[in-house]
Amino acid sequence: RSFVPDRMSVDEDDAYHELLEAVRERGQDTPILVRPHPSAEGRYMAVFGHRRVRVAKQLGRPVRAVVKTLADFDHVVAQGQENSARANLTFIERVMFAQQLGGLGFSRETIQSALSVDYQTLSKMLTIPKAIPAVIIDAIGPAKGIGRDRWLDLRKLVENPKNTPIANSYVASEEFAAADSDERFNLLFDFLNGAKSNKPIRKGLAPRINRTWAPADKSVAATIKNNGKTFSLALKAKDAAEFGEYISENLDSLYEAFRTSKKEATGD
């Protein structure tokens, strides 16, 4: 692993499953980059390609890698620029990566090179973790659909001293925890915005995720959400489309089986 983590979550999202299936079917097209470990002889440290390492481990396959001797400076620049080129880190993940580099003593110039941003952009990015406590950012997660402007707007709400304890309390609620990452951001934003304007806070906005399910081979993954009024079943991974089609074609028999089971349970 890199000595500077760049992802906030290791959840197996759609992009991960697409990569998994691509490697399963075609093999690993692009090698990862590793460097000799600076303190453990015979071991290597991944510079970039961490998802490909996870996929290979899950499939029980060796990883194709290019070995290159790098200093820490070259390591973080290569890691950051690879992520920028692939555009596979969210805005807040890039922010937290920058903050970690700063905490490790890397210069502004190095961080700018790693993220391919100018001084002004980096300065704005770093105002976010200064104003929003790490516990809140971690609770929200990577928030793939949330960009810079929305995070800067949330920063303005959270940096109000009256809002910080309210936000800390809200991110620990069951309602907040039940939502996905983008929803958690929006819930907190609406919650604090309502507190700011003295509007009544709407409850029950976040769908409750009852459970997730996947077979042993991970060929399909299901996420089940239920807010009491609506119920959704989302499928992803290799067999998602076929399995979803199978369910839709058999709704009549599935519903009849449900009604029969319900009658047996109630004794009607």
Size (the chain), residues: 268
- Owner of token pair 């769908």: 207
**pLDDT for the residue 267:** 66
Sorted by where each begins, the domain ranges of the chain are 1-116, 132-206, 210-266
**pLDDT for the residue 201:** 45
> What does the pLDDT look like over 50-83, one tens digit per residue?
788 888 888 899 988 888 787 777 777 777 766 6
Low-confidence ranges of the chain (pLDDT < 50): 3, 199-207
Residues 6+ apart with CB under 8 A from 219: 237, 238, 239
CATH 3.90.1530.30 given to domain 1-116: yes
Would you list the DSSP string of 235-259?
Answer: EESTTHHHHHHHHHHTHHHHHHHHH
- The answer to whether residues 152 and 184 touch, using CB atoms and an 8 Å cutoff, is no
**pLDDT for the residue 204:** 44
What is the CB neighbour count within 10 angstroms for residue 137?
23
The sign of the torsion formed by the CA atoms of 151, 153, 158, 161 equals positive
> What does the pLDDT look like over 208-243, one tens digit per residue?
555 677 888 888 888 787 766 678 888 888 888 899
**pLDDT for the residue 268:** 62
